[in-house]
Structure 1
Amino acid sequence: MGTSVIAPAAADAQSADPGLNPNQILNVAHRGASGYAPEHTIPSYELGEEMKGDYIEIDIQMTKDGELIAMHDETLDRTTDGTGLVKDHTLEEIKQLDAGSWFNEEYPELAKEEYEGLEVPTLDEVLDQFGKSANYYIETKSPEVYPGMEEKLLETLNEHGLLGKNSPSSKVLIQSFSPESLQKIHKIDSTIPLIQLLWYTSSATLTDTELEQYKQYAVGLGMNHDQIDEKYVQKVRDHDLSIHPYTVNEKEDMEKLLDWGVTGMFTNYPDRLQEVLKSK
């Protein structure tokens, strides 16, 4: 199968036409090229771009003083030499942490001296670094923990000229496991294409009613690729929703998902997905 058509935006979200290329499968660099470099660091994002990832995926958390940073976890412990909750630390405190050495220790075969002492980037810094030439796939993490996260995110994107009539609507996709977070964003700006992330589910438990509800504000769904089958993919596609499973790292799984009809996927190895797409 050479290409898969990306479904148009749902009728109820037509003003948020995602403008995605119907002949392109989205290769989303998950936390950057995080299979090769420390996740959510500038080098990881740069590598994702070099490896032909279509989107830089950024998880955002909010600091004690209301700044958005690129980090997956609510806590600092796993990917820095700090400890405790992000929300209990100021940006200045977090900027003192080492966000790269853990990777060298965990993956010595991929270790690079330049990874030592890497800073946790702010969303502003990522957008400054890659500008309007890049595409961004941003996830609001734990929005219930961070009041005002959505407003701050949209304000930041606007400041960088990434929203509005002068920017392609596919330049930024926003995803979340929280329907409330996405609905809040949709209410503020219905032109932004949104992706509803789902926890464990199956084609048997995913109902037509639920899919139509998602279409009220989202243009697509994302879910664990291990939890779905071809019937699931087609059910989502039949409702004119895009489908972007995560996190797909093996070529065999990439090929299978493409044959099933997914319209994109998240991977820690965007070079692998690029090779699979070229071969197809």
Structure 2
Amino acid sequence: MKKVIVLLIVSVFFSLGAITSANAAMGKQKPQKVTNVAHRGASGYAPEHTITSYKLGDKMDGDYIEIDLQMTKDGQLIAMHDETLDRTTNGTGFVKDYTIREIKKLDAGSWFNEKYPEYAREEYVGLQVPTLEEVFKKLGKHKKYYIETKSPDVYPGMEEELVRLINKYKINKKTLLLQSFSPDSLLKLHSLDPKLKLVQLISYKSKATITDKEIDYVKTYAVGIGPNHTYLNEAYVQKVVQNGLDIHPYTVNTKERMKTLIDWGVTGMFTNYPDVLDQLKKELRRGK
């Protein structure tokens, strides 16, 4: 009888162990490191997509500098979010209708002082729109760049020129990340150089959902996805992470939301305030 009881106890013990192991395997995955992407540089404090903003993002311990690309009339890739010049310079009209020489005459900093007087600085007046080539020259080949092809359907040859500059300046491809909302643009980049690490941007208008089929397709050409954070939930984040993809939501500007997303298991995020995310990461490491 004692032998039977002992066997029952042992059986229960191993069963509990198996259940615990299974639960652990199915449990929430948390990233070892949360990548801090300085969105358009430290764009909460300085005019977006200027060398000044990029350097400030680096100074505030952003892991990556994010650069949006547009293309000029004469085929130069420039750092700018919008297809038009109106919002972030004193110019008007579409980027594609101007040469780089014309765009270089524009003031890309004064608008920031007017819109954000609490962060205004005299040295922001007259800042120029940088070309991607200038960014590579000034920040160097070992900087971690996170580059987006904006409106690639408007700019034939954008991907080829981007790859040419990456190779010309020997940018470190092990850390380089390229992103786009356009799967076609990413697939073109993949065909030009299969070693490039790509991220598929996604915009949700309501509760974020992603199917196994969608994840499997993205994995054929990309290492991660970049959804807007607004409609995310923990189940979504965990599904992506457990399928081996990175997830870098955009654009997260409050410490509370950053903390929630980290708790859910994101592997990184875009922020206009890289110093805020850096401080939170330090607090979490200290166990606060």
Normalised to the residue count of structure 2, the TM-score between the two structures is 0.87
CA 157–168 in structure 1, closer or farther in 2 if over 3 Å, else same: closer
Q: How does 1:77-226 map to 2 (within 5 A)?
A: 77-162=86-171, 167-170=172-175, 172-200=176-204, 205-226=209-230
Cα pair 1:67 1:91 within 8 Å, conserved: yes
Q: Distance in 1 between matches of 2:71 and 2:173?
A: 27
Q: Distance in 2 between matches of 1:88 and 1:109?
A: 34
Q: Distance in 1 between matches of 2:119 and 2:208?
A: 41
Whichever residue aligns with residue 67 of structure 2, its letter is I
Structure 1 segments unaligned to the other structure (5+ residues): 6-22
Give the aligned partner of residue 256 of structure 1: 260
Give the aligned partner of residue 10 of structure 1: none
Q: Give the superposed CA RMSD.
A: 1.3
Shift of 1:169: 1.2
For 1:121, what is the secondary structure of its paired residue?
coil
CA deviations over 1:60-106 (Å, ceiling 9, x no partner): 00000000000000000000000000000000010000000000011
For 1:157, what is the secondary structure of its paired residue?
helix
CA deviations over 1:185-213 (Å, ceiling 9, x no partner): 01111111100000116676411101101
Q: Distance in 2 between matches of 1:147 and 1:63?
A: 11
Q: Distance in 2 between matches of 1:73 and 1:151?
A: 21
Shift of 1:225: 0.6
For 1:93, what is the secondary structure of its paired residue?
helix
CA 203–211 in structure 1, closer or farther in 2 if over 3 Å, else same: farther
Cα pair 2:240 2:247 within 8 Å, conserved: yes
Cα pair 1:4 1:261 within 8 Å, conserved: yes
For 1:273, what is the secondary structure of its paired residue?
helix
Does structure 1 residue 55 correspond to structure 2 residue 59? no
Deviates more, 1:253-262 or 1:202-211: 202-211
Does structure 1 residue 66 correspond to structure 2 residue 88? no
Q: Distance in 2 between matches of 1:70 and 1:130?
A: 14
Partner of residue 234 from structure 1, selected from 234, 238, 249? 238
Cα pair 1:203 1:232 within 8 Å, conserved: no
Shift of 1:239: 1.5
Partner of residue 273 from structure 2, selected from 261, 269, 273? 269
User: Number of residues paired by the alignment?
Assistant: 256
Does structure 1 residue 76 correspond to structure 2 residue 81? no
The ranges of structure 1 where at least 4 consecutive aligned residues each deviate by more than 2 angstroms after the TM superposition are 201-205
CA deviations over 1:172-196 (Å, ceiling 9, x no partner): 1000000000000011111111000
Structure 2 segments unaligned to the other structure (5+ residues): 1-28
For 2:69, what is the secondary structure of its paired residue?
strand
Whichever residue aligns with residue 184 of structure 1, its letter is K
CA 149–4 in structure 1, closer or farther in 2 if over 3 Å, else same: same
Cα pair 1:203 1:231 within 8 Å, conserved: no
CA deviations over 1:89-132 (Å, ceiling 9, x no partner): 00001000000000001111111010000000000111111002
CA 65–270 in structure 1, closer or farther in 2 if over 3 Å, else same: same
Normalised to the residue count of structure 1, the TM-score between the two structures is 0.89
For 2:196, what is the secondary structure of its paired residue?
coil
Structure that is richer in helix per residue: 2
Structure possessing the higher radius of gyration over alpha carbons: 2
Give the aligned partner of residue 33 of structure 1: 42
Shift of 1:134: 1.2
Whichever residue aligns with residue 196 of structure 1, its letter is Q
